[in-house]
Amino acid sequence: MTTTDKRTFPRSHTKNHEEGFNPSCLFVWLRGRKDLRLKPALIGIPWDEMSSFLRGPAEAPAIIRRALFSEASNDWSETGQLVNAEAIHDAGDVEAVPGLEMLVRIEQGISGLLEQNFQPISLGGDHAVTYPILRAFAKKYRHLSILHFDAHPDIYDEFQGNRYSHACPFARIMEEGLVERLVQVGIRTMTRHQRQQIERFNVEVVEMRDWRDDWPFYFDTPVYISFDIDGLDPAFAPGVSHREPGGLSTRQALNTILNLNAEIVGADIVEFNPRMDITNLTETVCAKLVKEIAAKMLEFDAVREA
């Protein structure tokens, strides 16, 4: 892969982290704000050009949609939310183009949804898509945290000469100050360089060797969920390019999401590789994650109407 020039993708301005924010006022402020009514929106990103090993995640968006609305399951979440085609807007796919121009298209597509008060749930695609997505989110949310599920930190400064590789998105996000906190869970393989990057950017990492099911996650800002499917153990999600044993179970990941006491304002489901799947197992897991994340968004929206 050839070296990319970071100047070809303009940096966003740094956020001012010194401005005050009182999280205790969040729910009070939201009540009655019907003018802020939001709605989850699916957007497909069929692009895997920045994958370093196997191609295939570009084929995932259509397959996840098929599984989400399959008659094999019903439209109700575990918490009793109806999550059907009426509850979720489908914005279609970002048209894929080669090269770094795709990063611009992704940012523009997400920005368009946010401007219309949609809560984007992006269907990848490889993990490179998360960087332009967060550039769009940073324009709307001055205070934002990421909850990142993954086997890998994806925080290389560059990988194989490529600063926009799917192994690098969180380095770009953190160096541009797009979020206040990055919390990573499911991590079970890190190089020395990645550990140095984690220390450099003050990333909070829960390694799988330290995992416990009652691990508390507290956020005082809105939360963006970035879910790399290889954060799950391959026994639960074999359809990935980089299988790494010893990961989260589907139940552990779902409970982490369901127990969040925070506003989820967006999410991505990335690195599902249909070419590696077995009996459609991983597409079903992806659809389940989309359903439960959308349900959390809809539940929080109900606070605004109370």
Rounded Cα gap, residues 117 and 153, in angstroms: 30
Contact 65, 241 (CB under 8 A): no
Q: Which residue has the tokens 């009426």?
A: 86
- Would you say residue 106 has pLDDT above 50? yes
| pTM, 2 dp | 0.86
The answer to which of 21-25, 100-104, 138-142 has the lowest mean pLDDT is 21-25
Specify the pLDDT at position 53: 83
The model's confidence at residue 204, banded by pLDDT at 50, 70 and 90, is very high
Phi-psi region of 178 (alpha: psi -120 to 50; beta: other; left: phi over 0): alpha
Specify the pLDDT at position 21: 31
Specify the pLDDT at position 300: 86
Share of the chain above pLDDT 90, in %: 77
Q: Which residue has the higher pLDDT, 265 or 36?
A: 265
Nearest residue to 46 via CA among 111, 89, 95: 95
Beta strands in the chain (DSSP E): 39-45, 89-93, 118-124, 145-149, 181-187, 204-207, 223-228, 264-270
Contacts of residues 18-25 at CB distance under 8 Å and 24 or more positions apart, as own/partner, are 19/142, 21/142, 21/143, 21/220, 21/221, 23/220, 23/221
The model's confidence at residue 303, banded by pLDDT at 50, 70 and 90, is low
The answer to which of 24-33, 191-200, 229-238 has the lowest mean pLDDT is 24-33
Nearest residue to 239 via CA among 108, 63, 117, 84: 63
Specify the pLDDT at position 38: 83
User: For the CA atoms of 91, 92, 93, 94, what is the dihedral angle to 10 degrees?
Assistant: -40
Residue 131 CA from chain centroid, whole number: 10
- Would you say residue 1 has pLDDT above 60? no
Q: Which residue has the higher pLDDT, 188 or 30?
A: 188
Rounded Cα gap, residues 221 and 263, in angstroms: 8
- Would you say residue 239 has pLDDT above 50? yes
